[in-house]
Amino acid sequence: MPKLKTKSSAKKRFSLTARGKVRFNSAGLSHMLRRRSQKMKRTNRGTQIMAASDAKVVKRYFLPNA
């Protein structure tokens, strides 16, 4: 059976922490920022840890070798 390849798009969007949790950049900060509240812009800054149920899918199908 051939080796599993990591999805190139997933390499750019997700990273794993030392404990194996999936880290991602939060959405909604690229354009049309006038209409978003200051609180939303502040909380979406930086990276977030993905929920466990979603992280299981990402690790299995998109990051098999990570």
Fold that domain 8-62 belongs to in CATH: Factor Xa Inhibitor (4.10.410)
As a whole number, mean pLDDT of residues 16-22 equals 96
Check residue 66 and give its pLDDT.
76
pTM of the shown model: 0.82
Domain residue extents for the chain: 8-62
As a whole number, mean pLDDT of residues 40-53 equals 96
As a whole number, mean pLDDT of residues 45-60 equals 96
Above 90 in pLDDT, residue 46? Answer: yes
Above 90 in pLDDT, residue 30? Answer: yes
Check residue 1 and give its pLDDT.
82
Burial class (CB in 10 A: 0-12, 13-18, 19+), 57: exposed
Q: Please name the residue ranges forming H helices in the chain.
A: 8-13, 38-43, 52-57
